[in-house]
């Protein structure tokens, strides 16, 4: 099994666990939520507890008492402006408390980690550190429902996905995309949790999430409700990852190879209520583990596809898009949603180096 070296541990194992905001805290759930999260954290093989810190609203010192029971550090911060200010204060404190850390792993409130959360990070962190095109490692897949995910070994390269629930970012990204924008109100960035907008962002996202999240409405009821409309899948054991994601060229070649050899069907020909059965029949008939669904070239076309397949669709970004291609897993079938122009272009993936929306 891959392990984290001592130096990698110093760079990685920094956690920020956030208690509930005042409205929820009065329900008496805050410390229980933190306890559940810490228990799942302590079960991670290879964890260095000296690199764990609980950052909490200074108004609620009982969270520090709970952290001490797990023998981890705690740090009170001012969160008078709400939950988002707590996240930003935690990030700022992280790089002060651990001045040599080049990466920070964030765990927000209401999170329970999968048993292989840290093992997953041990395999993806080297890519974050070596590939300047990758800004974030996600442990949560917005499209990770039971019927649209299922390969524990698969990791996607994604063109854009805001940090959400639990993730790893680098000091470089924090300084260039978060801190400098906070200092300049005209640049904008991080006013609302789950809605952070950066000038550029590429990330790694697991097909199967490495966390479970309680339903919450921290960044708008309409959008957060859509994340929890159906049961979600979470990994339950260590999985060695397929390493196509390590290099952009290798990942592109793998996608191109699968798409070129896969049977194709237009989105307009999909019967949405029966899409799973329809794609399975196409896959079996073509003896293929992949199916390409072609659609138009506009954001509204991907919105239509997302609605048809029950994928998460956000007003700010289209989840799971990489170089204008969206993908997911259903019944062990790799489903690629591809703009028609790309399938007609001989250079295929070279048509665009960015996601469908800027």
Q: So what's the pLDDT on residue 186?
A: 43
pLDDT, residue 40, reads: 93
Cα of 169 vs its chain's centroid, Å: 11
Give residue 348's pLDDT: 46
Q: Give percent above pLDDT 90 in the chain.
A: 43
Tokens 């469908």 correspond to: 356
Q: Which is more confidently placed, 196 or 49?
A: 49
The arithmetic mean of pLDDT across residues 16-39, rounded, is: 53
Q: How far is it, in rounded angstroms, from Cα 125 to Cα 104?
A: 11
Determine the average pLDDT of the residues in 178-198.
57
Q: Is the pLDDT of residue 10 over 80?
A: no
What local confidence, expressed as pLDDT, does residue 189 receive? 61
pLDDT tens-digit series, residues 124-145: 999 998 998 898 999 999 999 9
Could you list the beta-strand ranges (E) of 20-83. 53-57, 73-77
Domain boundaries, the chain: 6-245, 247-351
The predicted model gives 177-205 an average pLDDT of: 63
Q: Which of 9-18, 87-96, 280-289, 294-303 has the highest mean pLDDT?
A: 280-289
Give the whole-angstrom CA distance, residue 172 versus residue 169.
8
Least-confidence region, from 76-80, 135-139, 277-281, 291-295: 76-80
Residue with the bigger pLDDT between 303 and 83: it is 303
What average pLDDT does the segment 244-270 reach?
95
* 3-state secondary structure (DSSP) of residue 182: helix
User: pLDDT grade, residue 305 (50/70/90)?
Assistant: very high
Q: Which one, of 133, 118, 192, lies nearest residue 162 by Cα? A: 192
Return the percentage of the chain with pLDDT > 70, whole number.
74
Matching residue, tokens 């110093």: 10
pLDDT, position 101: 81
Query: What is the pLDDT, as a whole number, of residue 6?
Result: 35
What is the reported pLDDT for 51? 84
The CATH homologous superfamily to which domain 6-245 belongs is Spore Coat Polysaccharide Biosynthesis Protein SpsA; Chain A (3.90.550.10)
- Pairwise CA distance, residues 213 & 211, whole Å: 6
For 318-330, write each residue's pLDDT tens digit: 678 899 899 999 9
Query: Residue 334 pLDDT more than 90?
Result: yes
* 108 vs 279, more confident: 279
Res. 99 pLDDT band, cuts 50 70 90: confident
Would strands 264-266 and 103-107 be described as parallel, antiparallel, or unpaired?
unpaired
Can you point out the beta strands (E) in 298-341? 321-322, 325-330, 333-339
Q: Give kind and range of the element (H or E) at residue 6.
A: helix 6-12
Give 47's pLDDT tier (boundaries 50, 70, 90): confident
Residue 339 has pLDDT above 50, yes or no: yes
Q: What confidence category does residue 238 fall into, taking pLDDT thresholds of 50, 70 and 90?
A: very high
What pLDDT sits at residue 194? 61
When pLDDT is cut at 50, 70 and 90, the band that residue 306 belongs to is: very high
Residue 242 has pLDDT above 70, yes or no: yes
Q: Calculate the average pLDDT of the chain.
A: 80
């Amino acid at each position: 099994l891959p392990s984290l070296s001592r130096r990698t541990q110093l760079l990685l194992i920094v956690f920020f666990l956030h208690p509930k905001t005042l409205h929820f805290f009065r329900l008496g759930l805050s410390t229980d939520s933190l306890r559940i999260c810490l228990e799942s954290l302590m079960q991670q093989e290879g964890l260095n507890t000296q690199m764990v810190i609980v950052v909490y609203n200074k108004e609620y010192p009982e969270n520090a008492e709970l952290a001490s029971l797990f023998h981890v550090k705690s740090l009170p911060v001012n969160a008078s402006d709400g939950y988002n200010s707590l996240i930003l204060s935690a990030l700022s404190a992280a790089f002060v408390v651990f001045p040599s850390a080049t990466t920070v792993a964030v765990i927000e409130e209401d999170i329970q980690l999968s048993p292989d959360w840290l093992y997953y990070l041990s395999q993806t962190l080297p890519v974050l550190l070596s590939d300047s095109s990758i800004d974030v490692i996600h442990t949560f897949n917005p499209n990770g429902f039971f019927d649209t995910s299922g390969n524990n070994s698969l990791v996607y390269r994604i063109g854009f996905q805001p940090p959400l629930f639990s993730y790893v970012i680098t000091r470089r990204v924090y300084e260039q995309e978060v801190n400098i924008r906070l200092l300049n109100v005209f640049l904008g960035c991080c006013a609302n949790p789950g809605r952070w907008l950066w000038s550029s962002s590429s990330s790694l996202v697991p097909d199967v999430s490495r966390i479970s999240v309680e339903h919450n409405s921290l960044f708008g009821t309409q959008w957060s409700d859509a994340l929890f409309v159906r049961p979600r899948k979470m990994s339950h054991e260590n999985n060695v990852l397929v390493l196509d994601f390590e290099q952009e060229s290798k990942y592109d070649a793998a996608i191109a190879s699968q798409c070129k050899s896969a049977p194709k069907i237009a989105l307009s020909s999909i019967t949405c209520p029966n899409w799973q059965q329809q794609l399975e029949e196409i896959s079996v008939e073509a003896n293929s583990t992949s199916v390409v669904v072609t659609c138009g070239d506009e954001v509204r076309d991907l919105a239509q596809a997302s609605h048809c397949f029950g994928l998460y669709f956000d007003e700010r970004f289209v989840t799971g898009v990489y170089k204008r291609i969206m993908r997911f897993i259903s019944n062990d079938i790799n489903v690629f949603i591809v703009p028609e122009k790309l399938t007609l272009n001989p250079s295929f993936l070279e048509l665009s180096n960015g996601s469908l929306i800027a």
